[in-house]
Amino acid sequence: MNLQPTIGLEIHVQLDTRTKMFCACELSFGEPPNTRTCPVCLGLPGALPVLNAQSIHFGLMIGHALGCELAPQSIFHRKNYFYPDLPKGFQISQYDAPLCRGGSLGDVRIDRVHLEEDAAKLNHVGVSGRIHGAGSSIVDFNRGGTPLVEVVTEPDLHDAEEARVWLALLAATMRQLGVSDVRMAEGSLRCDANVSLAPAGSGELGVKTELKNMNSFSFVKRGIEAEIARQRALLESGAEVVQQTLHFDPRSGNLTSLRSKEEAHDYRYFPEPDLVPIAIDEEMVQRAREAVGELPATRIARYEHLGLSAEHAHQFAFRPALGSFFEAVLSAADGASPRELATWTAHVAAALGERDPDASALEPAALAALVALVGAGRVAAGPARTVVLARLLSQGGDPARIVEQEGVGALDDDAGLADAVAAAIAEHPDAAERLRAGNAKAIGPIVGHVMRATKGRADGGEVTRLVHERLGL
């Protein structure tokens, strides 16, 4: 049986507003527990929520970025359930009137984008680290009330790696919008995945399960892989998949059931009577539109159109600092192909690791000039990268002068190179013989010898030409 997985994602992203969603407490970044709280976010009797306008602005920016339809009027609902991290006994969320609907990112359609408040943080004291079996649990309300945006996709993904790549694109989009720093390890982006399997081509969806609260790209991938494997084994053995909510433990790789369909909460959603409807006017829409810059998906398409490899297009789109540097090199260059310039920008990225090019001594124009020297055969690619670029990164300067100072300029068709070729042929008579016999690959050892002898300064094409000439080929 050829079973095809179908995956939909629900992503929660903490928004970098100054204050919480419904009160004036500033967002918390590791402050001592329960120091960023007030009657509202503690759910004290009599306290009332007041909506943070910046969260709406951010929500609308995300809506624009994902090509959603923005609701002219949107309302909040109460999602009712008991849990110690939920001080009011309900979460203020959105239900049937979300801020944004529809849209897409890459090939994945968006179902909806809505706003809600984050829960507090529970620390369970005990071995399990979970509420069941914990001796006691400590609640830190600093996080409670942090604005969250929830993005729900249509079930348009079909394998775990595809889901991981798409999630990275979404995270890059949020970061580039400036609405969230998306630090997954700190829980500022959390992902749920709905997974089901059905016979390929059947046009139907199988029974789905939900994987909750995965907080890294690789856990998302591994969790989905594990769940696909579990469902596949069940279905192939003739058993059925039971609809349920699962927890993926990244340490053990195990999936455990949190609750079955029968145990699913009835959240008793109803419109939040303490808030008034949000009326979105044209000015708010316009302001959000203007705040959205070029987004990763657009950049990827533009770079690929310039002829860059998919790998470089993604790399520069996801790291805006790298993308900007590449574009500066591109505009400083005269005639070099964008693909070539991208390769050199990638060399820069590789040399710098996590550091951005701006943090080095390298000027975009200098890199463009270096690429031009290589293109003109004035310096070979090897020393250009290992010697010249290395110096440019650490000290800056003019590439042509560095080539001269370091003595790594290319050797042209002078006696020196011809002598080196003659010497190499003399050293490798067997290779010369096979080359004469028509084995083109046999030139390798001879060229290698010349390169070693000239410390890489010789132009490979020129060396090949001279070898052929000398052997009368």
Partner 1 sequence: MSAPPRTATEAVEAIRAGQLSARELWLACQAAATDDELNAFTWVADADDGPNEEAAALPFAGIPLAVKDLFCTEGIPSQAGSRILRDYRPPYTATVVRQLLDAGASLLAKTNQDEFAMGSSNENSAYGAVLNPHDRGRVPGGSSGGSAAAVAAGIVPWALGTDTGGSIRQPAALCGIVGLKPTYGACSRYGMIAFASSLDQAGPLTRSVADAALLFSKMVGRDPCDSTSLAFPEAIELPRSERLDGLRFGVPDELTGEGVETGVRAAFEASVALVEQLGASVERCQLPHAPHALAAYYLIAPAECSSNLARFDGVRYGLRVDSQDGSLEEMYSRTRAEGFGAEVKRRVMLGTYALSSGYYDAYYGRAQRVRTKIAEDFRAAFERFDFILTPTSPTAAFELGARTSDPLAMYLSDFCTVPMSLAGIPAISIPNGASGGLPVGLQVVGPAFSEPRLLDAAHALELAHADRVKTIALPSPLRFEGNENGAAGARE
CA separation for the pair 392, 470 (Å, rounded): 38
CB-CB contact of 82 with 111 (8 Å): no
* Least distance to partner 1, CB of residue 51, Å: 7
Contact between 263 and partner 1 (CB under 8 A)?
Answer: no
CA nearest 264: which of 286, 293, 243?
A: 243
| Region binding partner 1 by CB under 8 A among candidate stretches 76-84, 183-191, 338-346, 401-409 | 76-84
Helix (H, G, I), strand (E, B) or coil at 356: coil
Comparing CB distances to partner 1, the nearer of 19 and 104 is 19
What lies within 8 Å, CB to CB, of 238 at 6+ separation is none
CA 244, CA 211: separation in Å to the nearest integer? Answer: 9
Give me the residue label for tokens 């179902």. Answer: 111
The yes or no reply on residue 75 touching partner 1 (CB under 8 A) is no
Query: Binding to partner 1 by residue 88, rule CB under 8 A?
Result: yes
Q: Kind of pairing, strands 100-101 and 77-80? A: unpaired
Residues in the interface with partner 1 (CB under 8 A) total 29
Distance, in Å, from the CA atom of 463 to the CA atom of 448, rounded to the nearest integer, reads 10
**Site membership for partner 1, residue 270 (CB under 8 A):** yes
Give the pair of three-digit tokens for residue 105. 């990112």
By CB under 8 A, name the one of 84, 126, 199, 407 that touches partner 1.
84
To the nearest whole angstrom, how small is the minimum distance from the Cβ of residue 274 to partner 1? 5
Contact 126, 134 (CB under 8 A): yes
From residue 286, alpha-carbon distances to 70, 281, 290, 291 in Å are 12, 9, 6, 9
Rounded CA-CA distance 255/113 in Å is 28
The minimum distance between CB 60 and partner 1, in angstroms, equals 19
Q: Closest approach of Cβ 354 to partner 1, in Å?
A: 42
Measured from the CB atom, is 217 or 269 closer to partner 1?
269
User: How far apart, in whole angstroms, are the C-alpha atoms of residue 453 and residue 411?
Assistant: 11
Q: Which stretch binds partner 1 (CB under 8 A): 86-94, 180-188, 193-201, 450-458?
A: 86-94
Cβ closest to partner 1, residue 129 vs residue 199: 129
Angle at 376 between CA 447 and CA 372, to 5 degrees: 120
Using rule CB under 8 A, residue 90 touches partner 1: yes
Nearer to partner 1, 49 or 103 (CB): 49
- Give yes or no for residue 82 binding partner 1 (CB under 8 A): yes
| CB contact at 8 A, 114 and 98 | yes
Percent of the chain as helix, strand, coil, to the nearest 5: 40, 20, 40
Contact call for residue 87 and partner 1 (CB under 8 A): yes
Closest separation between CB of residue 114 and partner 1, Å? Answer: 18
The answer to the question of residue 316 lying near partner 1 (CB under 8 A) is no
Residues forming a β-bridge with 212: 247
Is residue 201 a contact residue for partner 1 (CB under 8 A)? no
CB of 78 to partner 1, least distance (A): 5
Measured in whole angstroms, the distance separating CA 199 from the mean position of its chain's CA atoms is: 31
Q: For strands 254-260 and 100-101, give the pairing.
A: unpaired
Stretch that binds partner 1, among 1-9, 174-182, 269-277, 363-371 (CB under 8 A): 269-277
In angstroms, the Cα distances linking 275 to 85, 130, 278, 285 are: 22, 34, 9, 21
Q: Which is nearer to partner 1, 264 or 473 (CB)?
A: 264
Min separation Cβ 88 and partner 1, Å = 5
Within residues 21-60, the interface with partner 1 by CB under 8 A covers 39, 42-51
Stretch that binds partner 1, among 77-85, 105-113, 236-244, 451-459 (CB under 8 A): 77-85
Nearest distance, CB of residue 134 and partner 1, angstroms: 10
Encoded one letter per residue, x for contact with partner 1 by CB under 8 A and - for no contact, window 115-144 reads: ----------------x-------x-----
- Cβ at position 267, least distance to partner 1 in Å: 8
Tokens of 4: 């095809």
Binding mask 273-292 for partner 1 (x = CB under 8 A): xxxx----------------
Distance, CA of 280 to chain centre:
31
At its nearest, how many Å lie between partner 1 and the CB of residue 281? 17
Burial tier of 128 (Cβ tally within 10 Å: 0-12, 13-18, 19+): exposed
Which residues in this chain contact partner 1 in the complex, by CB under 8 A?
Answer: 39, 42-51, 78, 80, 82, 84, 87-90, 131, 139, 266, 268-270, 273-276
